[in-house]
Structure 1
Amino acid sequence: MSELKHFHAPETSPSAAPLSPAVRAGDFVYVSGQVPVCADGSIAPHDIETQTTQVMKNIEKALKLAGCEMKDVCKTTAWLHDARDFGRFNKAYAAFFEPGKFPARTTSEARLMINILVEIEAIAYKPL
């Protein structure tokens, strides 16, 4: 098996949090759970569609670090603070993929680590 390659954004310190935004393992890229943090470090407004959009933009940025795009995503896992937000979450989430070519996904309701409405992790397939 090839070695793991860890990716970090140049503007962040690897010690900012004990995780790598993206890790390549062979032909797969694993994106850590992304939360609705904006570029300035603030949390996106407390609205499921706004926060989902920010999370998906953060996934795009993490994927780009590893040379991937959203079309390479084969699986996501999403955690929603409130299952009643599921329909509006789906609308914002779907906008980031080509219709009919959505990744496999698991979605569940969970108490999240900070006061946010959504967290999503992704797995991309991009052969070396």
Structure 2
Amino acid sequence: MHKEIIRADVPENGGSYNLCVRYGDMLYLSGLAPFDAEFCAEVAEARKNGTKVPPMPDTPFPRQVEIVMDNIKKLVEAAGSNMDCLLKTNVWLKDQTQAEEFEKVYVKYFSSFEALPARARMQAGRTPMDCGLEIEAIAYVPSKD
């Protein structure tokens, strides 16, 4: 087996990591923050030029959750999997008082309660660029049998 980098239509910000790595039938997704393509391009440019990274746009929290979950979905699907194949997620919220808002969006990405992955959810001391959340995930690619 060898490590395969999975790419999808998910913006990258020039950080020193891959968004999704496949090893065998396992997928490992880096912590994804709610950065859209425009913001990622600004961050990547700042990193390349050694200038100050711009502040996170003022995006409503439910939209931030959608951005992260949409990007997770794109990555697992690019690897031949789906959201119901997530095994574990780690969720860092900037503010735990937004947990209920988070849940309302999060559960929509799974086909049933039984399909939900195991999960840890905690309040972060500080999130990337002070965004509302970050999520990392472990998933598998179902066999084609």
Structure 1 length-normalised TM: 0.85
CA 1:73/1:11 → structure 2, altered by over 3 Å: closer, same or farther?
A: closer
Q: Distance in 2 between matches of 1:23 and 1:44?
A: 28
Which residue of 57, 61, 68 maps to 1:48?
Answer: 61
Relative to structure 1, is the Cα distance of residues 112 and 11 closer, same or farther in structure 2, using a 3 angstrom cutoff?
closer
Distance 2:35 2:101 in 1: 19
Structure-1 residue corresponding to 2:116: 102
Structure with the larger helix share: 2
User: Which deviates more, 48-57 or 32-41?
Assistant: 32-41
Q: Which structure has the larger Rg over C-alpha atoms?
A: 2
Runs of 5+ consecutive residues of structure 1 not aligned to the other structure: none
Shift of 1:127: 4.5
Assess, with a 3 A threshold, how the Cα gap between structure 1 residues 12 and 82 changes in structure 2: closer, same or farther: closer
CA distance in 2 between partners of 1:21 and 1:46 (Å): 22
Equivalent residue, structure 1, for 2:14: 16
CA contact (8 A) 1:6 1:24 kept: yes
- Structure 1 residue identity aligned to 2:3: L
Q: Offset of 1:16 from its aligned partner? A: 2.2
Amino acid of the residue matched to residue 16 of structure 1? Answer: G
TM-score of the superposition, structure 2-length normalised? Answer: 0.76
Query: Percentage identity across aligned positions?
Result: 33
Aligned residues of 1:36 and 1:54 also touching (Cα < 8 A): yes
User: 5 Å matches for 1:1-128?
Assistant: 2-9=1-8, 16-41=14-39, 45-100=58-113, 101-110=115-124, 111-127=126-142
Q: Deviations over 1:63-104 (max 9, x none)?
A: 233222112111111000001001110111111111212111
2:100 is matched by which residue type in structure 1? Answer: G
Q: Given that residues 10 and 75 in structure 2 are in contact (C-alpha distance below 8 angstroms), is that contact kept between their aligned partners in structure 1? A: no
Q: Which runs of 5 or more structure 2 residues have no equivalent in the other structure?
A: 41-55
Quick one: which amino acid aligns to residue 69 of structure 2?
Answer: M
Count of aligned residue pairs for this structure pair: 126
